[in-house]
């Protein structure tokens, strides 16, 4: 799990600077001193839906692997599961991030996810995940030892 979740504020957008043409003359940008246009509610909604949910193809693939090969899955069922899974991930990650923030840490680790799942009432899943996390770490440790790698723990989600 090498995906990173950034908790840093959005970068400040700098004004567009002039650039040079091939002949050496400069092209002045029109909006150097203007404020960027505010984002509309529609743009916010579109951005969130696109970036907030897991890709539907991934959700569909996992769902298909869980049912008999002759079964069909309706589009609205896939979309419903996509929304639920994405919300679940946000819910767990938010709880883990809160724990890290209280402990003045910037990196969410596997243990933080396990803690969050337990504290939110998903103890049965946390137990199962403990086993998978141990297997992941053993696999990573084995690969690092074979390749002479750093053995760096990669089950964390960086917030930088």
| HEC readout, 118-146 | HHCCCHHHHHHHHHHHHHHHHHHHHHHHH
Structure confidence by residue, pLDDT tens digits, 68-127 = 999 999 999 999 999 999 999 999 999 999 999 999 999 999 999 999 999 999 999 999
Sequence-distant (≥ 6) Cβ neighbours of residue 66 within 8 angstroms = none
More confident call, 118 vs 17: 118
pLDDT at 11: 44
Q: How many CB atoms lie within 10 A of CB 160?
A: 9
Instruction: Write the burial class of residue 113 (CB in 10 Å: 0-12 exposed, 13-18 middle, 19+ buried).
Output: buried
Full-model pTM: 0.58
Torsion of CA 79, 84, 90, 91, to 10 degrees: 170
Model confidence band, residue 42 (pLDDT cutoffs 50, 70, 90): confident
Structure confidence by residue, pLDDT tens digits, 1-15 = 444 444 444 444 444
Instruction: Report domain extents, the chain.
Output: 45-158
Distance CA(90)–CA(72), nearest Å, equals 28
CATH classification of 45-158 is 1.10.357.10, yes or no? Answer: no
């Amino acid at each position: 799990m090498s995906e990173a979740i950034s908790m840093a504020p959005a970068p400040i957008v700098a004004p567009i600077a002039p650039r040079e043409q091939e002949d050496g003359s400069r092209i002045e940008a029109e909006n150097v001193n203007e404020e960027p246009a505010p984002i509309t509610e529609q743009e916010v909604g579109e951005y969130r839906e696109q970036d907030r949910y897991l890709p539907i193809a991934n959700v569909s693939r996992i769902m298909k692997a869980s049912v008999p090969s002759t079964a069909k899955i309706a589009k609205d069922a896939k979309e419903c599961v996509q929304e639920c899974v994405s919300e679940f991930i946000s819910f767990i990650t938010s709880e883990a991030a809160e724990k890290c923030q209280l402990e003045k840490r910037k990196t969410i680790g596997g243990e933080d996810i396990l803690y969050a799942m337990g504290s939110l009432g998903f103890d049965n899943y946390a137990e199962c995940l403990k086993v998978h996390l141990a297997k992941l770490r053993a696999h990573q440790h084995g690969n690092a030892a074979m390749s002479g790698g750093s053995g760096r723990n990669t089950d964390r989600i960086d917030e930088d």
